[in-house]
Chain A
Amino acid sequence: MSDYLVNLGANPSARKLVKSLGLPLPLPQKLSRGKGAWAPRPVDGRAVWVGLAGPADATVQSALGAAIPALGAEVALIGGGFDSAPWRQAGEGFGRTIVESDSAIDGEKAHALVIDATGARSVDDLRGLYTIGHGAVRSLSRCGRVVVVSRPPAQMGKPTEVAVQRALVGFAKSLSKELGPKGVTSNVLEVAAGAEDRLAGPLGFLLSARSAFVTGQILSVDARADGMPAGWDARPLDGQVALVTGAARGIGRATARRLAEEGAKVLVLDRPADAELLGEVAREVGGVAVAADITGEGAAQAILDAAGEHGLDIVVHNAGVTRDKTLGRMDDARWDLVMDVNLTAILQVEAAFDAAGTMRQGGRTIVMSSIAGIAGNMGQTNYAVSKAALVGWVAAMADQRASRGVTVNAIAPGFIETRLTDAIPVATREGARRLSALSQGGLPVDIAEAVVFLASPAALGVTGRTLRVCGGNFIGA
């Protein structure tokens, strides 16, 4: 379950040798990942350069101005066009000197480049992407970050304006591929009008090491879900109760561990056949093991019993199976089992939660979709059907639960190094790993980090979305 090319690339002399011999080997950058629980300031003391494409939008600027110094960043405003007052105020509040510069700062490295393009309305405004980006991208550190802040194109008035906002996606995705070999991620943070005060948390996630495997994506923030916006803070899940299904191993186990580290009490569920492994996980995270077949009749009740009077704050539907065959060769059992576990079980358990009022005000529902659900995959009609269904389900449920402050999201993992993917034939596996902006597979913890973020108060503005955690996988993107 380790990537030999990442290991090779991490060795400086090997890296040099491969390069000087001109071997046709990609040497993926070893990604810098967060350790342990969230720190109060995820980019403490690191340089974040901020630029504008198009005129400044005062609401967005004051939100960014308050958020970025609070994340611990040393801010430089580059390229001009700013009202620096909100930035300076926050700088005084968090003890950071705000630097203003006409262009990228010579001889200095930046951890991140944030381009605020929310005011871009014309093709001319888009030129800011070039002028700011051109000077700055080569100064980005390894495993740095690019975030382009945008408006939802659909909310624009004129067709040109829609086009201009849509254009930002092309920019960010291209940069994800250009900078991927350095481990730099590049994403769009799309903020709806009226949701600017929910921007801090998602921005913190994208700038932090927690989003190491999220690149080439659009993270959308809106004001649908009811609640008090919260920024990035340590121990975001204190006092909350979480359920993780399929928690005995892999992504589920990593997720349970991370949720517990952030303060949640975790109910871990898996099949009775895995009871021993599950017990280990429960002990490790100080949680409660629920050994039940998620498709069985008693599963929902077992969860309700374990959740008790408190109910649940966080539900992570992670349990899933694959039974691959081309459709022509598939049998009933393969089709039905995949539907039962990946889809029907979730709908049934959720119906039981709704009936019992299990999900608490401000709760978080997170389901595991898949790249296969977005792009389809050879031999996975059954699996892709179940995973695509979830993309639609979260979009619809988000509206239903918004008034109770509950958000509903899906995560679509790309190639993740697990027991399952280890079993894939070498050639296929190599292809899956390398056909991505970061040229490597992700780790279970990368998915767990995305779950923690979506489960946190900081993600109030993100609902009804499917977040790809795929290293910028070329498939379906």
Chain B
Amino acid sequence: MPVSIQSKQPRRAVIVAGARTPFQRAFTRLLKMDAIDLGAAAVRGLLERTELDRSEVDGVVWGGVIIPSSGPNVGREIGLEVGLPASAEAMTVSRACASGLQAVTLAAAAIERGEADVMIAGGGDSTSNAEVKMGQRFVHAMAPIALGKRLKPTDYLGVAAQLMPISEVLPQQPKVAERSTGELMGEAAEKMAKRNGITREAQDALAVASHRKAVQAIEAGLLADEIVSVEVPGGELVTSDGLVRADTSVEKLAKLRPVFDRKNGSLTAGNSSALTDGAAAVLVMSEEKAKALGYTPLAAFRSWSYVGVDPSDQLLIGPAIAMPQALDRAGMSLSDIDLVDMHEAFAAQVLCVLQALASNGWAKHRLDRDTAVGEVDMSHFNVLGGSLALGHPFAATGARMVTTMSRHLHRTGMQTALLGICAAGGLGAAAVLEAV
């Protein structure tokens, strides 16, 4: 896998700040806010925290996975809602669960190409507001009645005849399934666990560690500055994450029943990330602009990488290719990395990726290199918790990770962080952040 070193840009884009809404389990406290409301809350919070003059913003890049059909350019709707100047252009991108990182790296790229100086990037999703779809057959059958000319009674009978069997025309429940294979993402992760020999115990242990680290981070106040309170319609104020459990334990998780393969499975609600509502936003600037406006940059991208693998094989193994590729592009090896932050879609998927990174066989057969990428030191892994504990509003996760890691690098004086995200469709994403 020969890759070019990412060329040094004449300008460097820097991460200045980040903010996110509290993350809440779907269909709970953030139920009444759709993806645009949630995104607007995050961006509004970011603007307030940074006291940024709205007129400085050149544009918005926003990620979304469940795009509301009433406002598919979510980024633009957010910009208008929070009162950004009309001249601040906006786009919306979708790269499944890597959408948030995609938005941030696109903003950085635009700045480094000289297209903009100040960008707001991020993403968010309201799984509570996934639109319930009518089957295509129902839509096609009903069209003559809804849109047609004057109809005879027999025409109605014709339409009725097309609506059998009834199961095909009932509203379809939204689900996280691959269009190409029909496989639910959890089923794919279950298959990966079996193929790579990942045990239930290892998964539960990773999940408990995620909660423990998240709880510690929250108690130490390390996340407070990036979470903005959200007032939901009705006046309730949501101020903190809703999924983290201080009281979870390996013993408790061991009692849960497998969900994707009830008989022989190892994936449970406890070691899989939950459907979550939330949004996260990042402020990206050119280094000069940040200086001129008096901001202290937190971090910058050294490299990033997006890859694809066959979704019918190991759907969520992509980071095991993207992460080494990002390291190569940065001209670094795993030993140069101080922090590793991976999106935890499923504990099983994280463990599969970590196992692949540590494997000489993976290196030889999949990366065309002689030795393994390396063992990730678990004391440097997801140090402030991951998606299993915090939740995973699909497109918010990448922006959350960039924010948390940038801030942590800046806070601790550590130098480098490697990010890894798996995504539907067999996609993998990774990035190397360095302290500024």
CB <8 Å contact, A70 and B313 = no
When distances are taken between beta carbons in the complex, the residues of chain B under 8 Å from A89 are 359-361, 364-365
Assembled-state Cα–Cα distance A66/B362 (Å): 11
The reply to whether the CB of A90 lies closer than 8 angstroms to some CB of chain B is yes
Instruction: Check: B197 CB closer than 8 A to any chain A CB.
Output: yes
Complex contacts, A66 vs chain B, CB 8 Å: 365
**Also in contact, A93 and B365, with CB within 8 A (given A40-B310, A40-B313, A41-B313):** yes
Query: Does residue B317 face the partner (Cβ distance < 8 Å to A)?
Result: yes
Of A13-21, A94-102, A136-144, the one touching chain B: A94-102
Q: Does residue B366 face the partner (Cβ distance < 8 Å to A)? A: yes
Contact of B366 among A44, A93, A96 (CB under 8 A): A93
Does A177 touch B at the CB level, under 8 Å?
Answer: no
Mask, B350-379, CB within 8 Å of A = 1, is: 001001100111101110000000000000
Bound-state CA distance A89–B269 (Å) is: 32
Residue of A nearest to B195 (CB): A95
Counting CB contacts under 8 A, is B50 at the interface?
Answer: no
Closest to A70 in B: B365
1/0 per residue, CB under 8 A from B, across A30-48: the answer is 0000000000110010000
Is the pair A92, B313 in contact by a Cβ cutoff of 8 Å? no
Q: Enumerate A35-88 residues with CB–CB distance to B below 8 Å.
A: 40-41, 44, 66, 70, 72, 88
Residue numbers in B under 8 Å from A96 (CB-CB): 195
Are B361 and A91 in touch, CB under 8 angstroms?
yes
Which residues of A have CB within 8 Å of B366? 93-94
B197 and A97 within 8 A (CB): yes
Q: Give bound CA distance, A287 to B47, whole Å.
A: 59
Q: Is the CB of B360 within 8 A of A92?
A: yes
Which interface class (under 10, 10 to 19, 20 to 34, 35 or more) fits A? 10 to 19
Of the candidates B312, B361, B362, the one whose C-beta lies within 8 Å of that of A44 is B312
Partner of B365, one of A41, A72, A94: A94
The chain B residue with its CB closest to the CB of A87 is B361
Residue with the greatest number of chain B CB neighbours at <10 A, chosen from A66, A72, A93, A94: A93
A92-B310 in contact (CB<8A)? no
Q: B196 in the interface, Cβ–Cβ < 8 Å?
A: yes
Q: How far is the CB of B198 from chain A (nearest CB, A)?
A: 10
Chain B residues bordering chain A, tally (CB within 8 A): 19
Q: Which B residue sits closest to A91, measured CB to CB?
A: B361
B299 within 8 A of A: no
Shortest distance from the beta carbon of B180 to any chain A beta carbon, whole Å = 12
Residues of B within 8 Å of A93, CB to CB, are 359, 361-362, 364-366
Residues of chain A lying within 8 A (CB to CB) of residue B352: 95
The reply to whether the CB of B314 lies closer than 8 angstroms to some CB of chain A is yes
With contact pairs A40-B313, A41-B313, A92-B356 given, residues A97 and B361 touching in the complex (Cβ less than 8 Å): no
Q: Which of B312, B313, B360, B364 contacts A95 (CB 8 A)?
A: B313
| Cβ B362 vs Cβ A97 within 8 A | no
Q: Which residues of B contact A95 (CB under 8 A)?
A: 192, 195-196, 313-314, 317, 352, 356
Minimum C-beta distance from B368 to chain A (A): 11
Are the C-beta atoms of A90 and B365 separated by less than 8 Å? yes
A70 to B317, alpha carbons, bound, how many Å? 15
- CA A40 to CA B356, docked complex, whole Å: 20
Chain A residues whose C-beta falls within 8 Å of the C-beta of B360 in the assembled complex: 89, 92
Contact with B along A295-338 (1 / 0, CB 8 A): 00000000000000000000000000000000000000000000
CA distance A360 to B95 in the complex (A): 41
- Cα separation A299 to B382 with both chains bound (whole Å): 69
The answer for the CA separation of A95 and B192 in the assembled complex, in Å, is 7
Q: How far is the CA of A476 from the CA of B352 in the complex (A)?
A: 52
Contact B195 A97 (CB under 8 A): yes
Digitize B400-417: 1 where CB-to-A-CB distance is under 8 Å, 0 elsewhere: 000000000000000000
| Bound complex: CA A90 to CA B363 (Å) | 10
Shortest Cβ distance from A111 into chain B, in angstroms?
Answer: 16
Report the minimum CB–CB distance from B114 to chain A (whole Å). Answer: 38
Nearest-CB distance from A207 to chain B (Å)? 17
Tell whether A92 pairs with B195 under 8 Å between CB atoms, given A40-B313, A41-B313, A44-B312: no
Closest Cβ neighbor of A66 among chain B residues:
B365
Chain B residue with Cβ nearest A96: B195
Q: Are B312 and A92 in touch, CB under 8 angstroms?
A: no
Nearest-CB distance from B178 to chain A (Å)? 15
A residues less than 8 Å from B313 (CB atoms) = 40-41, 44, 72, 95
Task: For the complex, give the distance between the alpha carbons of A70 and B314 in Å.
Answer: 13
Q: Nearest Cβ in chain B — how far from A97, in angstroms?
A: 5
Give the complex CA separation of A66 and B352 in angstroms. 20
Chain A residue with the shortest CB-CB distance to B366: A93
Minimum CB–CB distance from A334 to chain B (whole Å) comes to 53
Residues of A within 8 A of B362 (CB): 92-93
Residues of chain B contacted by A91 (CB below 8 angstroms): 361
Q: Contact flags (1/0) for B288-321 with A, using CB distance below 8 Å?
A: 0000000000000000000000101110010000
Name B317's closest neighbour in chain A (CB-CB). A95
Which listed residue, A40, A70, A72, A92, touches B355 by the CB 8 Å rule?
A: A92
Q: How far is the CB of B194 from chain A (nearest CB, A)?
A: 8
| Closest residue on chain A to residue B367 by CB atoms | A93
Chain B residues whose C-beta falls within 8 Å of the C-beta of A70 in the assembled complex: 365
Closest residue on chain B to residue A41 by CB atoms: B313
Q: How many angstroms from the CA of A187 to the CA of B365 in the assembled complex?
A: 28
In the assembled complex, the Cα of A44 lies from the Cα of B360 at a distance in Å of 23
Give the distance in Å from the alpha carbon of A370 to the alpha carbon of B262 in the complex.
Answer: 54
Residue numbers in B under 8 Å from A94 (CB-CB): 365-366
* Chain A residues whose CB sits within 8 angstroms of the CB of B317 once the complex forms: 95
Decide: B361 and A88 in contact? CB cutoff 8 A.
yes
Chain A residues whose CB sits within 8 angstroms of the CB of B196 once the complex forms: 95, 97
CB interface residues, B 180-196, toward A, < 8 Å:
192, 195-196
In the bound assembly, the distance between CA atoms of A93 and B313 in angstroms comes to 12
CB neighbours (8 Å) of B355 from chain A are 92
Residues of B within 8 Å of A41, CB to CB, are 310, 313
- Shortest C-beta distance, A384 to chain B (Å), equals 46
Q: Distance in Å from the Cβ of A62 to the closest Cβ of chain B?
A: 11
Please, which residues of chain B bring their CB within 8 A of the CB of A72? Answer: 313
Most interface-central of A89, A92, A97 (chain B CB within 10 A) = A92
Q: Per-position contact with A for B412-435: 1 when CB-CB < 8 Å, else 0?
A: 000000000000000000000000
Q: Quick check: A90 and B310 within 8 Å, CB to CB?
A: no
**Contacts of B359 on A, CB cut-off 8 Å?**
89, 92-93
Chain A residues, Cβ within 8 Å of B310: 40-41
Q: List 12 A-B contacts (CB under 8 A).
A: A40-B310, A44-B312, A44-B313, A72-B313, A91-B361, A92-B355, A92-B356, A93-B359, A94-B366, A95-B195, A95-B352, A97-B196
- Given A92-B360, A93-B359, A97-B196, list of 17 further CB < 8 A pairs? A40-B313, A41-B313, A70-B365, A72-B313, A88-B361, A89-B359, A89-B360, A89-B364, A91-B361, A92-B356, A92-B359, A92-B361, A92-B365, A93-B362, A95-B195, A95-B314, A97-B197
Interface residues of A (CB under 8 A from B): 40-41, 44, 66, 70, 72, 88-97
The 5 closest A-B pairs by CB, nearest first: A93-B365, A92-B361, A89-B361, A92-B359, A93-B361
